[in-house]
Amino acid sequence: MTTGVPGKKILGQDQIRRVIARIAHEVLERNGGANDIILVGIHTRGVPLAGRLAGLIEEFEDARPPVGVLDIGLYRDDVSAGGRPKMRPTDIPTSIEGRPVVLVDDVLYTGRTIRAAMDALNDFGRPNRIQLAVLIDRGHRELPIRADYVGKNIPTSANEQVRVHIAEVDGVDEVLVRKKA
């Protein structure tokens, strides 16, 4: 299945599965196993990615880390004046206090989403460290934020878009790059 969205396909279903498996191994290696880590997916596509990571970690370690869901709408600094952010549920199923948290998102671009996510996460406690896992890093940072785990670096120009489609949200797994309309 394809989305019908025009663009050059960078990753397909099998490549995305392999990338997520590699990230799961890297998370386990860096954290000395699955003990104490908490995965937190950023709405929208970070949520199913965090769930997939947890499933793979469970396959590799026989221990499934808790998975949280984070909405950052109220923490964004790039919402237009008069605009209201769309609010979605946040659910952090266990205390993050003093534990390593791995934030999970689909694309890292300017860094503003991650800054907002860290602000939102701090309302739930103080983790001993926050790590970042992203499927795609496309560069063009506006803030000094770097991912700890990257599925694929895709250098892009400012007039291009990276479109990530995840089966749980979009019905297909693929990553496309296309010119902005």
Closest CA to 135 of 19, 15, 54: 19
pTM equals 0.93
What was the pLDDT predicted at 82? Answer: 58
User: Is 86 buried (19+), middle (13-18) or exposed (0-12) by CB count in 10 A?
Assistant: exposed
- What's the DSSP call for residue 171? S
Query: What is the distance of C-alpha 137 from the center of its chain?
Result: 10
Give me the tens of pLDDT residue by residue for the chain, a chain 181 residues long: 556 667 899 999 999 999 999 999 999 999 999 999 999 999 999 999 999 999 999 999 999 999 999 999 888 776 655 566 678 899 999 999 999 999 999 999 999 999 999 999 999 999 999 999 999 999 999 999 999 999 999 999 989 999 999 999 999 999 999 999 8
Instruction: Give the separation between CA 88 and CA 91, rounded to whole angstroms.
Output: 10
